[in-house]
Amino acid sequence: MKRGTPGLNSLCREIESGYGFGQTAGRAYFVQYLPSLKCVNAFDVILFNMSEYSLRYVRDFLLSLPELWIHFSIHDWEKLFINVGPRPVLKWFDDSGKYADIYLLNKYVRVDALSFFVRLKDVPREDRENALDYFSRFEQLLRNDPLDFEDLDGEYFVSLVEIENLRAKLVNEGFSRFDMNEKAESEYIFGLRSLL
């Protein structure tokens, strides 16, 4: 199934429509769909979910199903960054899943995906500006908080060991490490604007 095909659309809609209404959440909920999802191109599944659903839902979906993305190389992430567009313009309250790729990599994998994204000339300047505006407004989405890692146990979400292995691989392939504290957030975003 290709991105946007009726089969992919209906599968993803079925998964999303049931999430949060039963007694299971996280990996326990999503893993029941893994056999069906493995029949579909993971890249297309991720793109569809990022385009259609909220950041919170896409975060839970991705952290629950590392089988879809844990093997991605820096080139796979670059391809995803380029194909997600258009990145939405910032609104007062925005829960767009279209920023889930950068959010996942910066906050959980702790590699500097936002800086990498801003440097990509294959991404329209407007999308890069919109991403900086978004993360400037929602800086907490970049901040590493120890509480965010409590559920990275391999049962509720992906395991921290898998995340650390991916981080090491991506740093080896060219991503910079990312560890952000609250004081440095504004300076970080301001500095990235000069890369546009």
Which residues on neighbouring strands pair with residue 159, listed in sequence order? 153
Q: How confident is the model at residue 194 (pLDDT cuts 50, 70, 90)?
A: confident
pLDDT (mean) for 58-84: 97
Tell me the per-residue pLDDT of 107-120, one tens digit each, with 9 for 90 and over.
Answer: 999 999 999 999 99
| pLDDT score recorded for residue 27 | 97
Tell me the per-residue pLDDT of 179-192, one tens digit each, with 9 for 90 and over.
Answer: 876 557 678 888 89
| 140: pLDDT strictly greater than 80 | yes
DSSP 8-state class, residue 105: I
Neighbours of 173 (CB within 10 A): 12
Q: Yes or no: say if 46 and 68 are a contact pair by the CB < 8 Å rule.
A: yes
Q: How confident is the model at residue 145 (pLDDT cuts 50, 70, 90)?
A: confident
Please give the model's pTM, rounded to 2 decimal places.
0.92
Neighbours of 76 (CB within 10 A): 14
Q: What is the mean pLDDT of the chain?
A: 91
Q: Yes or no: say if 119 and 78 are a contact pair by the CB < 8 Å rule.
A: no
Q: How confident is the model at residue 169 (pLDDT cuts 50, 70, 90)?
A: very high
| pLDDT score recorded for residue 2 | 47
Q: How many residues does the chain have?
A: 196
